[in-house]
Amino acid sequence: MGKMFEAMLPQHEAFIRKQRIFFVGSAPLQADGHVNISPKGYDVLRIFSPTEVAYLDVTGSGNETSAHVLENGRITFMFAAFEGPPMILRLYGTGSVVLPGTPEWEALAPHFTLYPGTRQIVCAKVHAVKTSCGFSVPFFDYAGERDTLLKWAENKADDEITDYRRTKNAASMDGLPTPIGIGLGVRP
């Protein structure tokens, strides 16, 4: 049975820092809306306090988390041990999105490596931490990061990435606006 905490303990933070992948979950309020779970790689997650985390988000084919967080703030992070002792750790929180060019961006961006295609920083105030056994999670060997997304972004001009975001990142699959879409003047 899992254990609940109000904030991350030092051992939770140490566990999170060892993980090479994490998952972000979010959902719209509408009952028939789609729950989204996104895997995140690269060195993009930062722990700012026992109740504050953020990750650098790079341009991808969707922008569901951003739309859901804008609509209702709910966000969950999941970390699973694929090597070493078994464990699953979840962070439950309230999220927000920080876009380039804002004062918040100027404060947060220096904490991250800004990868090609960087589009936003997703922040979360954590109100619950839950650990569970992870006994059935298989072992996997880490072979390295994929560079496909970074190469894609490196080979695009700024206006091409803006156009891509306008068509692919301005709204969720359920039609909810994203902060990027609003900033680009796109209305779903």
Give tens-digit pLDDT for 121-149: 999 999 999 999 999 999 999 999 999 99
Is 22 among the domain residues?
Answer: yes
Is 75 among the domain residues?
Answer: yes
CATH number, domain of 129, equals 2.30.110.10
Question: What gap in Å lies between CA 124 and CA 7, rounded to an integer?
Answer: 12
How would residue 188 be classed by pLDDT, with cut points 50, 70 and 90? Answer: confident
Is 9 among the domain residues?
Answer: yes
Mean pLDDT of 10-16: 98
CB atoms within 10 A of CB 113: 10
Question: What gap in Å lies between CA 124 and CA 132, rounded to an integer?
Answer: 21
| Contact (Cβ atoms closer than 8 angstroms) between residue 53 and residue 91 | yes
Is 140 among the domain residues?
Answer: no
Domain of 7, in residue numbers: 3-135+145-179
CB atoms within 10 A of CB 121: 24
Is 26 among the domain residues?
Answer: yes
How would residue 1 be classed by pLDDT, with cut points 50, 70 and 90? Answer: low
| Average of per-residue pLDDT values in the chain | 96
Give tens-digit pLDDT for 30-45: 999 999 999 999 999 9
Number of domains in the chain: 1
Specify the 3-state DSSP secondary structure of 60: coil
Q: Which of 63, 74, 100, 94 is nearest to 174 (CA)?
A: 63
Is 187 among the domain residues?
Answer: no
Rg (CA), the chain: 17
Is 95 among the domain residues?
Answer: yes
> Is this prediction's pTM over 0.75?
yes
Is 123 among the domain residues?
Answer: yes
Residue whose entry in the numeric block shows the structure tokens 């699973």: 80
